[in-house]
Amino acid sequence: MTDFEKYIQRYLDLVPSENWVGELKISGKQTLEIYGKLSEEHGNFAYAEGKWTLKTLLQHLIDTEKVFAYRALRFSRKDQSLVSGFDEESWADNSYAETRTLKSLIKEFKLTRKLSIKFFKTLPAEALQLIGIVNGNEIKVETIGKLTVGHNLHHLNIIKERYLPSF
């Protein structure tokens, strides 16, 4: 198993069922449920110095989902161009999440998730099996969809463990 495979496996292991498109819906609802209960003040909370605020974390989920969907779109269209990775810390530092309202971030997350679900649901089985290269690593379109779920669940676990107990 490569380092890349080990890295993504931690996310894939969090996907609770083989119906990963259904899990996209469920994890989206869970995210919206948590964020819907937060005040604007809570959105600006970080559990420790140097950690992301809840707003920045939500923006990270949005950004990452868009990147994943873009990769899946390219590969599903048989685009074999090499795709690079992205620096999540730099993206978070430059996301402007702190200048936005929590409500606007929630709305964007909801729209982004709806688009992801619609996109993945419409792909034929053969497109889900197509492979592309990200940062020098091969990955299937279907695996990218599953990673979207696992990545979301990973961060929901962090929110529940490290953020919510503080208030």
In this predicted model, what pLDDT tens digit does every residue of 79-97 receive, in sequence order? 999 899 999 999 999 999 9
Q: What is the pLDDT of residue 1?
A: 87
Per the structure block, which two tokens stand in for 86?
């992205």
CB 24 within 8 A of CB 149: yes
Residue-level pLDDT at 53? 98
Question: Measured on CA atoms in the order 111, 112, 116, 122, is the torsion positive or negative?
Answer: positive
Region 136-157: what's the mean pLDDT?
A: 98
Length of the chain as a residue count: 167
Q: Is the pLDDT of residue 59 over 90?
A: yes
Residue 79 is predicted with a pLDDT of: 97
The band of 158, judged by pLDDT with boundaries at 50, 70 and 90, is: very high
Q: What is the mean pLDDT of residues 110-114?
A: 98
- Using pLDDT thresholds of 50, 70 and 90, give the confidence band for residue 137: very high
Query: What pLDDT digit, counting tens, does each position of 20-43 carry?
Result: 999 999 999 999 999 999 999 999
Flag whether pLDDT at 73 surpasses 90. Answer: yes
Nearest-angstrom CA–CA distance, 80 and 51: 36
Among residues of the chain, what percentage have pLDDT more than 70?
A: 100
How high is the pLDDT of residue 167? 86
